[in-house]
Structure 1
Amino acid sequence: MSTTVPSSGPPAPAPASPAEARDPLGTSADRAGTTWGADPYANALRTGRGPLFLRRSDGWLLPLDVERWCSGAGSADLSALHRCEGPVLDVGCGPGRLVAELASLGHRALGIDVSEAAVARTRRLGGAALVRSVFDPLPGEGRWGTLLLLDGNIGIGGDPAALLERAAALLGSGGLLIAESAPVDVDERVRVRLDDGRGGLSGEPGPSPVGDAGESFPWARIGTAALLRYAHAAGWRTADQWGAEERTFVSLRRPARERSARTSSQSAERANSTPVISSQLPR
């Protein structure tokens, strides 16, 4: 990632102290961070393979594509990355393939993830990443050129409307949100747990499912039609829709309306938060 600081734009916060640079957590992530930081997820990232699932209380399993996440950026990923503009914030960056690819394409990019294992792997690939929830204070609020919500991350927090509102607060004027929607017509909000699929689901002996050990957390799955309904209701403008390798994507332009009092209050609080490395900020 380039560390060149353009001469224009608002001043960046002061650089972090050496301790902050080594441990950029700064604030506590949301409760889902405890689950995503659990051993099954860390182990999957360490080995580069599953099985790993999101498991609902009724036993329904959503497979997580760990092998794809831990490989290089594929053609479907590139179809999204080539649309990026300006500095890019990858929300839920996972093991870092997108952040690393963006850096190779010449973008200043920062990944955030609530999993320490994911952030560590992203850094090993040469990408910049912080242990953060998207709802935590973040560097460069209101100045990012593009925000990514790929690999199902539109489901973060289980409330797509709230996530879109947060995305609008993070992006600069005219900023671009690129989101991956579910490839089916669905709009559901559920509570899920991480599950590595080993034993316990059908009575066989063996380790208990991870989902029974970890806390459940809210998640959402929404298809393109549902995503566009939420976005248009909040003032977002559709820039593009496309599909690649059986995955579906939407790009949206940030709403040109004034931020709500709630969003403005959040931004004011975050402006006074602990600063982070200045080279990671959009300018």
Structure 2
Amino acid sequence: MRPDTDSPGTDSPGTGAARAAVGVPSPRAVYDAALRAPGSPLLARRNGQWRALRVDRWLGPASDADESLLSRCRGPALDVGCGPGRLAAALAARGITVLGIDIAPFAVVLARQSGASALCRDVFGPLPGAGRWRETLLVDGNIGIGGDPGRLLRRIALLLAPDGTVLVELDPPGAPTGSYWTRLAVEGLVSAPLRWAGVGVDGIAGLAAVSGFEVAETWQSAGRHFARLLSSTRPSSSCKEP
């Protein structure tokens, strides 16, 4: 596979990430390398264009925009795709019970060093506290995990308490909602294809409706866009961990 194409080649879609060819690093390995070398930009490819991801923001303290979301947390909270743990650490520092999960081992190491409780887990695998989390955080584009936001939200519904909420960061108004293949690149490393998704402000209501949620509010802060989702079946929800 050429490193400048977004196509998954012969790999089967629907698995979240394509299998890496021999000698081609996995997206997880490239992400890990970017966290170990924060001065080098981490790039993601979409529709033939490379754009820089905000590793500096992930590694820094919680920003004012982050605080606009964290202020809506009472806990216990689950930070899905917590990365180096800035959000989980900020919640822990104010006495809120929070757990971060990430599939990248080095990200989990950094999260723990920041003062957060964190586990190296996949959101679609077994997790502690299923059915008892009051908030689930999907920030920094993590609504795209797995390339199927509807499936992700349905999984989140199994993890939340009946009165729980999803706090999600969205793409700006006018941005498309849908799945795509991407690659990550840093310091000359280009990953195997990764299935991801974007959800724009304009697309969240429809997505929520077909995933068992409703939009309670949307807001913006410092140029970033967020939404708070509630279960459309509360308070009688009885979803259990499969």
Structure-1-length-normalised TM-score: 0.72
Cα distance in 1 for partners of 2:130, 2:27 equals 24
Post-superposition CA distance 1:118-175 (Å, at most 9, x none): 0000011111111111111110111100000000001111111101101111100110
Matched, 1:193 2:170: no
Deviation at 1:49, TM superposition (A): 3.6
Q: Which of 35, 41, 45 pairs up with 2:31?
A: 41
Go from structure 1 to structure 2 and tell me whether the alpha carbon gap of 1:32 and 1:139 turns closer, same or farther (over 3 Å shift).
Answer: farther
Deviation at 1:259, TM superposition (A): 7.1
Identity %: 42
- 1:144 maps to 133
- 2:160 maps to 171
- 2:214 maps to 237
> Structure 1: which 5+ runs fail to align?
1-29, 199-206, 269-283
Deviation at 1:63, TM superposition (A): 2.0
Cα distance in 1 for partners of 2:130, 2:167 equals 17
Bigger strand fraction: 2
Matched, 1:68 2:57: yes
Bigger helix fraction: 1
Aligned 8 A contact 1:36 1:115 in 2: no
Deviation at 1:92, TM superposition (A): 0.3
**In structure 1, the residue corresponding to 2:26 is in which secondary structure?**
helix
Q: Which of 160, 174, 179 pairs up with 2:149?
A: 160
- 1:111 maps to 100
- 1:8 maps to none
Cα distance in 2 for partners of 1:137, 1:31 equals 19
Of 228-237 and 125-134, the range deviating more from structure 2: 228-237
In angstroms, what is the RMSD of aligned CA positions? 2.3
Cα distance in 1 for partners of 2:39, 2:227 equals 28
> Structure 2: which 5+ runs fail to align?
1-15, 20-24
Q: Which of 163, 180, 201 pairs up with 2:169?
A: 180
Write the letter of the residue equivalent to 1:35.
S
Q: How many residues are matched? A: 221
Post-superposition CA distance 1:187-231 (Å, at most 9, x none): 1211111112x5xxxxxxxx4xx22xx321210011012122110
Deviation at 1:32, TM superposition (A): 7.4
Matched, 1:80 2:65: no
- 1:93 maps to 82
Matched, 1:215 2:192: yes
Q: Which of 224, 228, 242 pairs up with 2:201?
A: 224
Deviation at 1:254, TM superposition (A): 2.0
Aligned 8 A contact 1:168 1:254 in 2: yes
Aligned 8 A contact 1:99 1:110 in 2: yes
